[in-house]
C-alpha cells in the first residue's frame, strides 16, 4: 500500500500543474485549490510514510542499453531514507504553508493560474531531487527546478527587473550546472554507475577509491552544481535579484526548495567527496557566509536583507558539509537546513505580509511602528528572527550550535568566522526589526497599515510553531541515522535538551550566545528609535561597498561584457574573413576566373575547334607512340 505513496507524493504536484495549465488557467479558485490540494495531500502522505518509517527504493528501468560486456542502465526510482523522508516533510510542509499563503497574497493578481501552475511545477521538481536514486534523475529534476524558478522569479515579466532577474538566476545556475554535468559524466565514466546506492556500496567496499584523483575532481565539479543552486560565492549573485519574484516565491526558493537542493545534494553524495574537495567546500561556505552577512547589514530593502541572510545561512550549511570530513556526518548541515526552512519561510512570509499591508513598499526606512499595527505578523516575525539569530530555546539555536561545535572541533579559523557571522546575523536582523517594526513611523504608509487576513496569518502561525520548537524534535538525530555514525545519547526532557549543547560543546554554545548578545547590543545602540541609518556616516566608503554588494555584479557585468566583446570580435573576424572571405568569396572567385579563362576557348569558329581536335589527336598519338 505504501509502495505507491512516494509516486503519489512526487506526481500529485505535477498533475496539479498540468491540470491548471490545461484547464484552469483562468480560474483563480480552481487553480489555487488544485495546487494547494496537491501539495497538502503530498504532505499528508509524507507524514504517513514518515510515521510508518518506510525505507528503501522503488524503481523501474528507464533506459537500458547493453553492448556485450558493457551495459548502461538508468533507473527512474524513488529512494526513501532518513535524509529524503525528512526533506519530504520539509518541502511539502513548508510548501503547503507557502501555497496557502500564496492564495491570500496573490489573490488580486490576474495571473493566479499561471502562478499556481508554476508553484506546483516547482514543488514537483524539488520533490524529484529529494527522491532521486541516481545522478541522472537528480540532474533532470535539478534542471526542472531551474526552469520553474525562472518561471516564478520572472512571474511579473512585464517588469524588466523581474525578467532580468529570472534570466540572471537561470544563467548563473547554468554555469554551475555545467560543472555538475561534467562531474556526473566523470563519475559515470570512472565508476560505471550513476546510482547512489551502488556508488555508496562501491565506496564502502573500496575506501581507497575516495583518494582517487579523478573522483576528487568529480567532487569539485559536483560542488559547482551545488554552488550554483545554493548560491555560493562566486555564483551567489543571482539569489538577491531573485527577490523580484512574488514574495511567496522568494519564501519557497529561499526556504524549502531550490537553495536547499545544493546542500541536500552535497549531503546525498557526501560519501564520495574527497578531503581536498571538502576543505574547499568548507572555505567557500565560510566566505559566502561572511560576505553575505556583511552585505546584509547595509541593505534597505526588507526582502534583500532576508535574501542576504539566506545566502549567509547557506554558507553556514555548506561550510558544515565541508567541515564534516571524509566519511563524516554532515547531519548538522541538514539540521540547519531544516530549521532554516521553517524560520526563513516564516521571515519571508512575514515580510510579504508587511509588503502587502504597505502596498508593495519594501524600503525599511519607510516603515516603522508596525509592531502595534500588525501584531501577529510582528510576533511571528520576531520568533523567526530569534530562531535565525540562534537564541535558545528557538530551533535555530540548536542547529547553529551544532554547526559551531563542528567548526570548533575541526577548524579554529572557520569557527571564529562562524561566530562572527552569528554576531552579524543578529545585528542585521535586529536592525531590520528596530527600523521596520518598532521605532518611529518614517512615512505615511504605515499609518494605513492593518493586519493581514487569516489566509496569510495562519501560515505564519503554523510556521512559527516549528521555528520555535523544531530544536526539541530530534531532527538532528534522525538525520544522523542516515550517516551511520553513533551520535551521543539523546537527552530526555525539555530542560535537559536545552542544556545539552552547553554541556556538550560549551565553547561553541557560549561563543554563539556571546555573538548574539554583542550583535543585539550593537543593533540596539545604533538603530533603536532612529529615523535614518547612522552607519554610512560612521563607516564612509566601507558602508558604500557593503551597500553595493562589494561590486560583484558590476565586476561580473564588466567581465562578461569584455569576454563577449572579445568572442564577438573573434567570431566577426572568422565570419568576415575566413568564412565569407576565404571560403565563400574564394570559391566563387576561383570558379568565375576559371570560367572566364575557359570562355576564351569557345570562339564559335568551327575551324578552330577542328584544329584543336586535331591537335588533341596529335598529342594523344604522340603520347601513345612515345610510350
Binding residues for other proteins (CB under 8 A): 599, 602-607, 610-611, 614
CB nearer to other proteins: give 485 or 610: 610
Cβ–Cβ < 8 Å for 35, 132: no
How many helices (H) and strands (E) the chain has is answered by 27, 2
Q: How far is the CB of 623 from other proteins (least distance, A)?
A: 19
Q: How far is the CB of 621 from other proteins (least distance, A)?
A: 12
For 78, list phi and psi in degrees, rounded to 5: -120, 130
Q: How far apart are CA 377 and CA 571, in angstroms?
A: 56
Cβ–Cβ < 8 Å for 297, 427: yes
CB nearer to other proteins: give 205 or 597: 597
CB nearer to other proteins: give 579 or 621: 621
164's enclosing H/E stretch is helix 160-191
CB atoms < 10 A from the CB of 358, how many? 22
Q: How far apart are CA 189 and CA 214, in angstroms?
A: 10
Q: How far is the CB of 608 from other proteins (least distance, A)?
A: 9
CB nearer to other proteins: give 514 or 614: 614
Q: What angle do CA 360, 422, 231 make, to 5 degrees?
A: 60
Q: How far is the CB of 607 from other proteins (least distance, A)?
A: 5
CB nearer to other proteins: give 66 or 607: 607
CB nearer to other proteins: give 61 or 594: 594
Q: How far is the CB of 612 from other proteins (least distance, A)?
A: 10
Q: Is 143 exposed, middle or buried (0-12, 13-18, 19+ CB in 10 A)?
A: middle
CB nearer to other proteins: give 510 or 609: 609
Q: How far apart are CA 375 and CA 462, in angstroms?
A: 15
At a CB cut-off of 8 Å and minimum separation 6, what does 585 contact? none
Q: 195: which strand partners?
A: 134
Q: How far is the CB of 618 from other proteins (least distance, A)?
A: 10
Q: How far apart are CA 62 and CA 64, in angstroms?
A: 7
Handedness of CA 492, 390, 484, 46 (dihedral sign): positive
CB nearer to other proteins: give 161 or 621: 621
Q: How far is the CB of 614 from other proteins (least distance, A)?
A: 6
Q: How far apart are CA 188 and CA 211, in angstroms?
A: 17
Q: How far is the CB of 592 from other proteins (least distance, A)?
A: 15
Q: How far apart are CA 472 and CA 474, in angstroms?
A: 6
Q: How far is the CB of 602 from other proteins (least distance, A)?
A: 6
CB nearer to other proteins: give 360 or 599: 599
Q: 265: which strand partners?
A: none
Q: How far is the CB of 604 from other proteins (least distance, A)?
A: 3
Q: How far is the CB of 615 from other proteins (least distance, A)?
A: 10
CB nearer to other proteins: give 571 or 593: 593
Q: Which three cell numbers stand for residue 229?
A: 543552486
- What would the DSSP string read from start to end of 182-208? HHHHHHHHHHS--BHHHHHHHHHH-GG
Q: Which three cell numbers stand for residue 200?
A: 555508496
Do strands 56-67 and 70-80 pair parallel, antiparallel, or not at all (unpaired)?
antiparallel
CB nearer to other proteins: give 71 or 610: 610
Q: How far is the CB of 603 from other proteins (least distance, A)?
A: 7
Cβ–Cβ < 8 Å for 445, 356: no
CB nearer to other proteins: give 529 or 608: 608
Q: How far apart are CA 161 and CA 158, in angstroms?
A: 9
56's enclosing H/E stretch is strand 56-67
Q: How far apart are CA 88 and CA 126, in angstroms?
A: 9
Amino acid at each position: 500500500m505504501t509502495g505507491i505513496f512516494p509516486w503519489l507524493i512526487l506526481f500529485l504536484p505535477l498533475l496539479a500543474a498540468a491540470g491548471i495549465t490545461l484547464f484552469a488557467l483562468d480560474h483563480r479558485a480552481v487553480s489555487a485549490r488544485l495546487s494547494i490540494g496537491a501539495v497538502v495531500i503530498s504532505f499528508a502522505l509524507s507524514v504517513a510514510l514518515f510515521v510508518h518509517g518506510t525505507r528503501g527504493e522503488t524503481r523501474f528501468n528507464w533506459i537500458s542499453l547493453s553492448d556485450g560486456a558493457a551495459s548502461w542502465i538508468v533507473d527512474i526510482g524513488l529512494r526513501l531514507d532518513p535524509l529524503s523522508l525528512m526533506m519530504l516533510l520539509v518541502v511539502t510542509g513548508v510548501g503547503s504553508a507557502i501555497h496557502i499563503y500564496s492564495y491570500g497574497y496573490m489573490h488580486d493578481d490576474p495571473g493566479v493560474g499561471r502562478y499556481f501552475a508554476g508553484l506546483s511545477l516547482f514543488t514537483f521538481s524539488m520533490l524529484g531531487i529529494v527522491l532521486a536514486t541516481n545522478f541522472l534523475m537528480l540532474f533532470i529534476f535539478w534542471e526542472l527546478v531551474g526552469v520553474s524558478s525562472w518561471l516564478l522569479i520572472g512571474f511579473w515579466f512585464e517588469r524588466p527587473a523581474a525578467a532580468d532577474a529570472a534570466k540572471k538566476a537561470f544563467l548563473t545556475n547554468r554555469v554551475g550546472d555545467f560543472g555538475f554535468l561534467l562531474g556526473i559524466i566523470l563519475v559515470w565514466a570512472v565508476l560505471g554507475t550513476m546510482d547512489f546506492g551502488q556508488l555508496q556500496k562501491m565506496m564502502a567496499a573500496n575506501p581507497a577509491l575516495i583518494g582517487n584523483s579523478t573522483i576528487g575532481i568529480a567532487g569539485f565539479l559536483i560542488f559547482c552544481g551545488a554552488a550554483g543552486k545554493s548560491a555560493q560565492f562566486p555564483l551567489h549573485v543571482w539569489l538577491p535579484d531573485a527577490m523580484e519574484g512574488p514574495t511567496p516565491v522568494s519564501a519557497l526558493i529561499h526556504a524549502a526548495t531550490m537553495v536547499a537542493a545544493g546542500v541536500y545534494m552535497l549531503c546525498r553524495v557526501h560519501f564520495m567527496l574527497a578531503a581536498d574537495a571538502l576543505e574547499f567546500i568548507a572555505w567557500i561556505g565560510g566566505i559566502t557566509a561572511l560576505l553575505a552577512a556583511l552585505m546584509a547589514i547595509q541593505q534597505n530593502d526588507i526582502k534583500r536583507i532576508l535574501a542576504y541572510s539566506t545566502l549567509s545561512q547557506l554558507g553556514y550549511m555548506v561550510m558544515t558539509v565541508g567541515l564534516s570530513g571524509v566519511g563524516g556526518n554532515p547531519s548538522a548541515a541538514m539540521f540547519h537546513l531544516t530549521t532554516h526552512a521553517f524560520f526563513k519561510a516564516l521571515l519571508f512570509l512575514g515580510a510579504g505580509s508587511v509588503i502587502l499591508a504597505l502596498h508593495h513598499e519594501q524600503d525599511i526606512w519607510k516603515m516603522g511602528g508596525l509592531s502595534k499595527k500588525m501584531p501577529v505578523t510582528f510576533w511571528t516575525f520576531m520568533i523567526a528572527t530569534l530562531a535565525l539569530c540562534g537564541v535558545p530555546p528557538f530551533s535555530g539555536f540548536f542547529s547553529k550550535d551544532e554547526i559551531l561545535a563542528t567548526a570548533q572541533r575541526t577548524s579554529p579559523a572557520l569557527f571564529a568566522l562562524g561566530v562572527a557571522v552569528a554576531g552579524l546575523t543578529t545585528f542585521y536582523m535586529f536592525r531590520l526589526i528596530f527600523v521596520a517594526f518598532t521605532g518611529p513611523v518614517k512615512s505615511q504608509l504605515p499609518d494605513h497599515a492593518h493586519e493581514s487576513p487569516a489566509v496569510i496569518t495562519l501560515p505564519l502561525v503554523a510556521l512559527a510553531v516549528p521555528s520555535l520548537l523544531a530544536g526539541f524534535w530530534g531532527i538532528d538525530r534522525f538525520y544522523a541515522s542516515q550517516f551511520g555514525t553513533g551520535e551521543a545519547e539523546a537527552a530526555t526532557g525539555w530542560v535537559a535538551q536545552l542544556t545539552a549543547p552547553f554541556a556538550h560543546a560549551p565553547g561553541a554554545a557560549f561563543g554563539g550566545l556571546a555573538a548574539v548578545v554583542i550583535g543585539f547590543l550593537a543593533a540596539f545602540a545604533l538603530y533603536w528609535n532612529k529615523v535614518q541609518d547612522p552607519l554610512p556616516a560612521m563607516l564612509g566608503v566601507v558602508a558604500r561597498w557593503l551597500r553595493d554588494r562589494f561590486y560583484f555584479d558590476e565586476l561580473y557585468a564588466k567581465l562578461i561584457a569584455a569576454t563577449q566583446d572579445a568572442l564577438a570580435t573573434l567570431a566577426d573576424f572568422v565570419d568576415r574573413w575566413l568564412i565569407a572571405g576565404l571560403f565563400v568569396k574564394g570559391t566563387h572567385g576561383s570558379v568565375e576566373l576559371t570560367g572566364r579563362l575557359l570562355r576564351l576557348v569557345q570562339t564559335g569558329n568551327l575551324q578552330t575547334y577542328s584544329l584543336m581536335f586535331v591537335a588533341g589527336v596529335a598529342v594523344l598519338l604522340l603520347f601513345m607512340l612515345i610510350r
